[in-house]
Amino acid sequence: MLRWIRQQLGFDPPHQSDTRTVYVANRFPQHGHYVPQRFADNRIISSKYTVWNFVPKNLFEQFRRIANFYFLIIFLVQLMIDTPTSPITSGLPLFFVITVTAIKQGYEDWLRHKADNEVNGAPVFVVRSGSLVQTRSKNIRVGDIVRVAKDETFPADLALLSSDRADGTCHITTASLDGETNLKTHYSVAETSVCQSVSQLEALQAVVECQQPEADLYRFVGRITVTQHGEEIVRPLGPENLLLRGARLKNTKEIYGVAVYTGMESKMALNYKCKSQKRSAVEKSMNTFLIIYLVILLFEAVLSTILKYAWQAEEKWNEPFYNQKTEQERNSSPILKFISDFLAFLVLYNFIIPISLYVTVEMQKFLGSFFIGWDLDLYHEESDQKAQVNTSDLNEELGQVEYVFTDKTGTLTENEMQFRECSINGTKYREVNGKLVPEGMTDDSPDGSTPRLIGEELLFLQAVSLCHTVQISYDQPDCLVGGGDPFSHANGFSSNHMEYYASSPDEKALVEATKRIGVAFTGSNGDVMEIKAFGKAEKYKLLHVLEFDADRRRMSVILQTPSGGKVLFTKGAESAILPFTTSGEIEKTRLHVDEFALKGLRTLVVACRHFSPEEYIDVDRRLNAARTALQQREERLQEAFSYIERDLQLLGATGVEDKLQDKVQETIEALRLAGIKVWVLTGDKHETAVSVSLSCGHFHRTMNILELLQQRSDNECAEQLRRLARRIKEDHVIQHGLVVDGASLSLALREHEKLFMEVCKNCSAVLCCRMAPLQKAKVVRLLKTSPEKPITLAIGDGANDVSMIQEAHVGIGIMGKEGRQAVRNSDYAIARFKFLSKLLLVHGHFYYIRIATLVQYFFYKNVCFITPQFLYQFFCLFSQQTLYDSVYLTLYNICFTSLPILVYSLFEQLVHPHILQNKPGLYRDISKNSLLSFRTFLYWTLLGFCHAFIFFFGSYILMGEDTTLMGNGQILRANRQLMFGNWTFGTLVFTVMVITVTLKLALETQFWTWMNHFVTWGSIAFYFIFSLFYGGIIWPFLHTQDMYFVFVQLLSSGSAWFAIIIIVITCLFPDVVKKVFYRHLQPTSTQKSQSLSAPQAQTLSCMESLCCYQHGQSGCSRLAHLLEQMTGQCKASANNCHASSNRSWSDTENFYSNDRSILTLSPIEASHC
């Protein structure tokens, strides 16, 4: 029990060794020294809490938030010392915020528990005691032999022992793990593949030794030792032998596998990693403002305490006749008394820190994120995919982006490859009607028959059709099951019943091209691959596959030809193949590769090597030794691969076209007009990348292209950077574009970061080619941490973009053809690059202005709330008497003023979505966190103080000395408070405050919906109804009845109503005047767009329906139209809502077409709402 507790606390990890030993079917050694290793059970736990730890763990997490912890301290202070306000005033709002958050998090965790129980309770079949036993998934132990049937998912990470196929292979899909839908082939070792029955498996004596669990899905190092007739046979195990939990069995009736990693140690569970928490610029500003307000609070509390003691220096105020001190109070320590008074003032003013700000911001972000998923403009019909939000914490960051880092393949392009050209033995060919035609010749074959290719041409096509990892699927998926001939479908094959599946679109395009030309890959059966070369079947034995990796950038196969010879075919990037070639038309092929790249084609180079029998024996020995090594297997394999892939004979090169996505050029141009710089980071060679950059508008034809390529030393790189910097200064009029490759980038980042960044920032567009995934992330980090701290966005579609996506402030995944790793690790996911413009220019703009106003309005209304409390102390000898009743203190932020700002922050639109998208320059108005600058914050804070002074002194001047203007004209009895006593005065101030702060938000609102009207006027009405109800009844559970009949008496006074109206107008009228003058004298681009006058363009007047442009004069009255021009608003009127198809824009305004949106219910050309 103690060991278990230590393991749970992390003090006693269950594994101590670097490897684990798994005894198949749990046949442990019989000798007495053996101590079994302890492994995790097969339960998956994705929940955070249990019944026992929910309350303490959740409270601990919530009180790590500085605002919650602060209010907890205030609440405890109120409990411990005699404070002017009830502990309920702090305790109830705190309890409300904590409870709402706990319920939300508890419900989400309950859903996780429910999902876990479904997975852990799923039925599985396990071989135990010589029979097949059904049990629950959670009961699988490491070493158990598990049977999985067709179309079932693997319940744990299994080492494949056997399948119903004679060769012991099976096909799986890993769509739920990495999004790749292609069939992958996995293998069992020959010694276990014959064990296809339960009795044979029960008799199997085998031990699996492998590495301890790690998260990498594509890495597994192990070996299996099978004991047969007293002899131990050792075989290597790699990723191709491991069936991962969550993958699905396809095209195979059943398999048996031994559980190697279970439960939370399976690779799928280890990939449930928590992504590093990204914080938005608004959140950072919010925390800064909180600290400033905390300083204001401490200043007010210290000042009040000092003034209290200064006042009490006079004897008559220190101990007046009506408030004699007790003996204990006279003898108490002055220091303790000072601290007690300071804490009491701290409690009195503590509401200047808005406790409900956090919960309101969370609700705004969570509810607001649904708009992205609902937007029909971000929905892609062809793939039936809508935009998705993986984290709502960064919504407003979409409105602050300054740099976009984008991948090329699959992000700017379609990732749909089409074979275009090839170079064979120094001659260029192109495909015409299914035939290879040399350059300069036409397809003049009279009978349309395919010419027979011989020699190098045939060898090249054979290499392309055999050097790959393509799988074939047939209409009848069981055709390969059992003992049927896997090649039987090759006769008379057609695309109708044979389809290629590949993890790489390039491979699929090349294999389909060779099939059209006449050399068709027709399938593989175990280690035999068959091709049909112009109708003649040829079988090759697959001896070894040298898998592709990002460092080598090539993949190879070693085959035994039908004649018995051994040959290596390899293909990869030209920089990974050409240096290792010794024969063939190397220079001509290099020129052809460059030509292909200039046309924007993706290039691959193909080569081969023939082995003598002695060479092959050496190669086979090296590969087997490397693959069976348990230590440093990757390094040994790399050494073996380097030894094998040399002395190559160059066969040729291929050129494959990847089409640009729709509207990429318009999107990049819109981002540029919005002040966003676009960097393209790609792994392609620089000619291909430059060609695509020019075609997609990233580089302009008039742009001066600067190059930092093939730098070999630090000094050379630094000199080139200085030359580029000088050229930029000399030609400062022209726009510059920079091209840099991966090798030069490494040198530039090593010693010359500042110089490199200076060059980059002065370029309009930057293209980085030949980039490794970690280099992409390093570039993003470099810019992110530069002195200006710009907001960065990374967008990509493949696993190689994940590090870049996680590094950037905002990461966006494209739902493309390269798997779902990018989408799973992103903050937002969209189906096409063109959707990025609307995501940033419209949604980003809306989210930012909404939350910026929300944060500042919260601080404003709390300054208005607590400053009269501070001013009141000057009139009550700093006796810590509260101005407001405890119930009003508690409900101000929770009920009276919370809903209008929440609705505003969900629906506000300063400008119509069409205009935002069609005038990208408006994005610049909100860049660099301009709406949350210190100047704006200071304005809202000073406005709050001004309004608070007007509330307090306005009420005091208008009503302070007046006790005769009661509704009934009477003075109240002495045993009751005077009409204008403490609570009446406080209630008047509070009433004026609630009305003013609500109407202030109404003035800020540009876009009115029925919900805005409901919560704005409803909040004011609710306050009046509540106050009448609260003060009109004697509540038996309240120990004091201070407010009884106060509100009714107040409203019965005509002078009170007069004071309310005068004070509200006094507060808000200067604000209206300021808005009008600023709008007419110094309008921003946004304000100009709000009120486009009729002669310039038809004004958007139907803001409620968001769907149409009005032509000509508004239907509003002349007075209403004047107000509309002054404030930039328009009263919604469905009757006047007609669209115009001839909407005019000035020549300087850029226009981009829009699709359709839930925000813009019809296109611009609509005829009617």
- DSSP, residue by residue, 594-636: HHHHHTTEEEEEEEEEEEPHHHHHHHHHHHHHHHH-SSSHHHH
Q: Are 570 and 554 in contact (CB under 8 A)?
A: yes
Residue 939, pLDDT score: 92
Mean pLDDT to the nearest integer, 816-837: 78
Tokens for 73, please give them. 């301290």
The dihedrals phi and psi of 739, each to the nearest 5 degrees, come to: -115, 125
> How does the average pLDDT of the chain come out, rounded?
78
Longest distance between any two alpha carbons in the chain, whole Å: 125
Q: Are 985 and 1007 in contact (CB under 8 A)?
A: no
Catalytic residue among 144, 407, 506, 827: 407
pLDDT tens for 99-138 read 877 887 788 778 778 878 888 899 999 998 888 899 999 9
Q: For tokens 């009491």, name the residue.
A: 344
* Whole-angstrom Cα Rg for the chain: 37
- Who contacts 53 (Cβ-Cβ below 8 Å, separation ≥6)? none
- Whether the CA torsion 1086, 1090, 1096, 1098 is positive or negative: it is positive
- For residue 1148, pLDDT over 50 is answered with no
Helix (H, G, I), strand (E, B) or coil at 1037: coil
> Position 769: which residue type?
C
Residue 943: closest CA among 1006, 997, 982? 997
Helix (H, G, I), strand (E, B) or coil at 267: helix
Residue 1167, pLDDT score: 33
Question: Alpha-carbon distance 1047 to 987, whole Å?
Answer: 7
How sure is the predictor about 206, in pLDDT bands with cuts at 50, 70 and 90?
A: very high
Q: Are 1108 and 1134 in contact (CB under 8 A)?
A: no
Cα–Cα distances in Å, from 728 out to 232, 705, 752?
70, 11, 17
Q: For tokens 């610029």, name the residue.
A: 281
pLDDT tens for 736-780 read 888 988 888 888 877 788 888 888 888 888 998 877 777 888 888
Residue count (the chain): 1169
Question: Alpha-carbon distance 841 to 1150, whole Å?
Answer: 14
> Position 205: which residue type?
Q
Q: Check if 116 is active-site.
A: no
Q: For tokens 């793939």, name the residue.
A: 383
Tokens for 197, please give them. 């029955």
Tokens for 210, please give them. 């492998």
Mean pLDDT to the nearest integer, 237-258: 89
CB atoms within 10 A of CB 119: 17
Q: For tokens 């004069």, name the residue.
A: 1113
Question: Alpha-carbon distance 190 to 203, whole Å?
Answer: 16
Question: Alpha-carbon distance 809 to 804, whole Å?
Answer: 10
pLDDT tens for 974-1015 read 333 344 567 788 888 899 999 999 999 999 998 889 999 999
Tokens for 34, please give them. 């053996």
- For residue 1019, pLDDT over 60 is answered with yes
- For residue 690, pLDDT over 70 is answered with yes
Please name the helix (run of DSSP H) or strand (run of DSSP E) that holds residue 669, with its range, or none.
Answer: helix 664-673
Q: Are 412 and 406 in contact (CB under 8 A)?
A: yes
What is the distance between the terminal CA atoms of the chain, rounded to a whole angstrom?
Answer: 71
Residue 271, pLDDT score: 64
pLDDT tens for 344-390 read 888 888 878 877 787 788 888 888 888 998 988 888 888 888 888 87
Question: Alpha-carbon distance 526 to 174, whole Å?
Answer: 20
The dihedrals phi and psi of 90, each to the nearest 5 degrees, come to: -95, -35
- For residue 314, pLDDT over 90 is answered with no
Burial of 782 (0-12, 13-18, 19+ CB in 10 A): middle
Q: Are 1062 and 957 in contact (CB under 8 A)?
A: no
Characterize the bridge pairing of strands 157-163 and 170-173. unpaired
Question: Alpha-carbon distance 1028 to 1051, whole Å?
Answer: 10
Residue 1107, pLDDT score: 32
